[in-house]
Structure 1
Amino acid sequence: MVNFKPLDPEFPIDKQLGVDAGPVVLVNLFTVDPADKDALVEAWKGDAIWMKKQPGYISTQLHEAVGESCMYLNYAIWDSVADFRAAFSNPEFQKALSHYPSSAVTAPHLFEKIAVSNCCTA
């Protein structure tokens, strides 16, 4: 079972799920013991395939840290917090969290794009 750790302890993911916003980007940092790296990727793959079928899902991508780090970064784009909340709180998804290795720690957080003049658009 994956262990949750807030990326922002002042406003963790469970509080973010109550906010009405969208579109949103889920940024999720994973750490895992070296021996469990393949198991983490397989568990994530199962989640990603399931999430792809959920309303409001747009895309996802998993990244592995460069070098000998055991850290992974996932980002997923959703139409809204409400869509992500429905998928995340679904009992089928919650049950699937037991497929992660016990050494896995995840730190999920939701973000919105912002506009910065001469750099990026919202």
Structure 2
Amino acid sequence: MPVFEELDPIVSLADQMETEDGPIVLINVFTVDSHEEGALLKAWSHDADFMKAQPGYISTQLHKGIAGSSTFINYAVWQDVESFRNAFTHPEFQRRIDAYPPSAVAKPHLFKKLSVANHCVG
């Protein structure tokens, strides 16, 4: 099971899951010992199979740091916080978390797109 840490020391994932915002993006930063990368990928894939079958799921993409980094970022798009909350707290998903390697540290946090003139749309 991974160790969970907050990405934002002021606003926790639990605080965020009490809101009713949407659409949202989950950014989950994982670190793992290099010799356990295969186990992390296997556990993440198993989780992703479950999540993509849940209502409100839109998409996901896993990224890996370059130059020998053992840092990964999962970028997952959800219709709304309620959909993510229901999937994340589902007993089946909670059981799947146990499959992560012992060195894994996860820092999940929810975001929403912003509109910035001449750069990006919300």
Specify the TM-score bucket, using the shorter chain as the normaliser: over 0.9
Deviation above 2 Å: which 4+ runs of structure 1? none
> In the alignment, residue 54 of structure 2 is paired with which amino acid?
Q
In the TM superposition, what is the alpha-carbon distance from 1:56 to its structure 2 partner?
0.1
Within-5 A mapping of 1:6-85: 6-85=6-85
The alignment's TM-score, normalised by the length of structure 1, stands at: 0.99
Alignment coverage as a number of residue pairs: 122
RMSD: 0.5
> In the alignment, residue 120 of structure 2 is paired with which amino acid?
C
Matched residue SS, 1:113: coil
Q: Residues 67-118 of structure 1, C-alpha deviation per residue, up to 9 Å, x if partnerless? A: 1111001000000000000000001000100000010000000000011111
Mapped to 1, the partners of 2:47 and 2:14 lie a distance apart of 19
Mapped to 1, the partners of 2:47 and 2:26 lie a distance apart of 14
Mapped to 2, the partners of 1:115 and 1:73 lie a distance apart of 23
Percent of aligned pairs with the same residue? 49
The alignment's TM-score, normalised by the length of structure 2, stands at: 0.99
> In the alignment, residue 51 of structure 2 is paired with which amino acid?
M
Query: Could you say which residue in structure 2 is the equivalent of 1:94?
Result: 94
Any unmatched runs of 5+ in structure 1? none
Any unmatched runs of 5+ in structure 2? none
Q: Residues 13-32 of structure 1, C-alpha deviation per residue, up to 9 Å, x if partnerless? A: 11100011000000000000
